[in-house]
Amino acid sequence: MTRPDETDLGQLRISRALTGLWQVADMEKDGTTLDPETAADHLAAYHAAGFTSFDMADHYGSAEIIAGRLLARAPEPPTMVATKWCPPPGPMTAEIVRAGVLERMERLGVAQVDLLQFHWWSFEHPAWLDALHQLAALRREGLIAEIGVTNFDAAHLRVAVADGVPLISNQVSFSLLDRRAAGPLAATCADLGVRLLAYGTLCGGFLSERWLDQPEPAEITDWSKMKYHRFIDAAGGWDGFQGILRAAKTVADRHGVSIPNVATRWVLEQPHVAGVIIGARLGERAHIADNAQLFGFSLSAEDHAVLDAAFEGTQMVPGDCGDEYRVPPFLTASGDLSHHLAEMPRAVRASDGLRGPHVVTGTKWEDIAGYARARRDGEIVSISGTTATAGSDRVVAPEDAGAQTTFILDRIAASLAALGGSIEDVIRTRIYITDPADVDAISEAHGQVFGAIKPANTLVVVAGLIGGYRVEIDADARIAQS
The pLDDT of residue 356: 81
Length of the chain in residues, anyone? 482
> Among residues 474, 438, 441, 470, which one has the least CA distance to residue 457?
474
The pLDDT of residue 222: 80
In three-state secondary structure terms, 104 is helix
Residue 377: exposure state from Cβ atoms within 10 A (0-12, 13-18, ≥19) = exposed
> Among residues 171, 159, 160, 109, which one has the least CA distance to residue 135?
160
Cβ proximity of 97 and 64 under 8 Å: no
The pLDDT of residue 354: 67
The pLDDT of residue 346: 83
Cβ proximity of 169 and 139 under 8 Å: no
The pLDDT of residue 74: 78
Distance of alpha carbon 246 from alpha carbon 159, whole angstroms: 40
Amino acid at 38: T
In three-state secondary structure terms, 375 is strand
Q: H-type helices in 73-211, by residue range? A: 94-108, 127-141, 154-162, 184-192
In three-state secondary structure terms, 304 is helix
Distance of alpha carbon 177 from alpha carbon 315, whole angstroms: 9
Over the chain (482 residues), the average pLDDT of each successive run of 10 is 92 97 90 94 94 96 97 88 94 97 98 97 94 98 98 98 98 98 96 97 95 94 87 96 98 97 98 96 87 96 98 96 89 74 81 86 94 95 97 96 98 96 97 98 98 97 95 97 71
Burial 107-125 (b: 16+ CB within 10 A, else e): bbebeebbbbbbbbbbbbb
Kindly report the pTM of this predicted structure: 0.95
Distance of alpha carbon 125 from alpha carbon 343, whole angstroms: 13
Q: Give the number of C-alpha atoms closer than 13 A to the C-alpha of residue 409, restricted to the C-beta side.
A: 26
